[in-house]
Amino acid sequence: IRSDTQTLIKEKKECRNVDDLLHYGSIWKLNGMKGSVTKQRLLEVSLEESCIIFANAHHLYSLHERVENDFAFNLICVDEASQLPTHYFMASLQYIYKYSFNMKPLSDLSRATMSNLNLEEEKDKKYNLTKVVIVGDHNQLPPVRVKTPPKNLELVLDSLFSYYVKGHSISSKQLKINYRSHEDIVAFTALLGLYKDLTAFKTNAKVLLKGDTNKVSLPWMKKILDPNKVVCSIIHNRKFEIGISVFEAHLVSLIILSFYNMKGPKSEQEEVLFWTEGVGVVAPHNAQGRTIIRYLFDIFQPISYLSEGSLMNHLKNTVYSVEKFQGSDRELIISSIGLSDLDKISAEEEFIFNLNRFNVLTSRAKHKVIFISSNKFLGYIPDERVILEKASKIYTYVQEFCNEKIELEIDNEKNEKEKLIFRFKK
């Protein structure tokens, strides 16, 4: 089920087509046909006996308008439950099998307590039950909240995953195989101590970044984009940056331009794949993200196969905050911290050194991750022990896990020579 702002799932060879149920306002259309789903012609008429419905909470909330009153799912699977606000789940609870029982008040009606209610099941009746499976990870970031929830309501107003796993202690099973990333990336994720016995799937464990490095014109950039250097970091010596680093924005845009040349898209379709699957930029602050987008737009607008509007839209979906990047992945992930002012780092230490945030940042990459930060950021020592332990994980990534280093001299945003340190795992 999709809205008119979402893209239709395209046909795929040797695969069955996905039926398209379009919902906007009070209109429902199945596979583009008017009158296919109405109050008189309900959805069940067009459904097979066994089917899978993909939908978000918004569409599920309204689905009752076009199904029978007793419509129910055998199985409800909630993906990305660690980013789903708990109350969004209520939309799907309309479609669980109803469990019938009779409620008979006892003789003493003066006390409104549970002890004076007699609940009787309907005997000799077999019940269908809906099974609910929630898939998530409470070591990632919860849904974005505008305000801090009231005391004792944190779990209720947190993610669905935390509500059930932490609040109700339901049984859970930790997956031990990472099907996304290169083994070096998975090895660092395992070092964070959040997941026990995590290993890379054998098919993807050795897969490297694809592209022709001979098409990269800058010698120092060839070293950065070397596919064999999977886990990388770049450290610079800028000071007093308070959330926007023009230098990092310039560096990120050059890396992406060089990677674009490596991949060599030759059509609009290939360029769309580059932006949607090839590269992603994670910036903790929206201001840094907007700066990177402006740099990228100025560079790519003359060479892009896309219209200006389409290019800008793809850039906005390529450069994200950490929260918005959850659930996504790219072949190459670049992180730009954008902070080098000690007072600003001190003011934001709990936010910027959040371990779940760093876990999401590093684990979105399939074949290569590049972490860019200032030396001031890495050298900052928080006063609180809990935050210090989290900050040490970032330091470990840069200075220990990335166990080889090269000094590079590049042309900065002012076209002046500037030195930086490139570290990588060997």
Instruction: Extract the tokens encoding 275.
Output: 């932006």
Of residues 105 and 314, more confidently modeled: 314
- Phi, psi (degrees; rounded to nearest 5) at 272: -60, -40
Whole-number pLDDT of residue 119? 56
pTM across the whole model: 0.85
Residue 114 pLDDT more than 60?
no
206-228 pLDDT, tens digit per residue, is 999 999 999 999 999 999 999 99
The 10s digit of each residue's pLDDT in 163-187 is 999 889 998 898 999 999 999 999 9
Over the stretch 35-74, which tens digit does the pLDDT of each residue have? 999 999 999 999 998 999 999 999 999 999 999 999 999 9
> Tokens 């099998």 label which residue?
97
Q: Kindly indicate the confidence band of residue 139, based on its pLDDT and cuts at 50, 70 and 90.
A: confident
Tally of CB atoms within 10 A around 274: 21
Burial of 71 (0-12, 13-18, 19+ CB in 10 A): middle
C-alpha–C-alpha distance, residues 320 and 335, integer Å = 10
Average pLDDT over residues 364-392: 96
State whether residue 225 is helix, strand or coil: coil
What does residue 193 show for φ and ψ, rounded to 5 degrees? 80, 10
Mean pLDDT (the chain, rounded): 91
- Could you give the 3-state DSSP secondary structure of residue 133? strand
Structural domains of the chain sorted by starting position, each given as residue range(s) with its CATH number in brackets: 21-167 (no CATH), 178-424 (3.40.50.300)
Q: Is the pLDDT of residue 332 over 70?
A: yes
| CA within 13 Å, CB half, 369 | 29
pLDDT at 108: 54
pLDDT of residue 127: 75
pLDDT at position 317, please? 94
| Alpha carbon distance, N-terminus to C-terminus of the chain | 46
Contact 289, 244 (CB under 8 A): no
Distance of alpha carbon 8 from alpha carbon 322, whole angstroms: 27
Provide the angle, in degrees to the nearest 10, between the axes of the packed helices 355-363 and 385-395: 20
Residue 201 makes CB contacts below 8 A (sequence gap 6+) with: 177, 178, 179
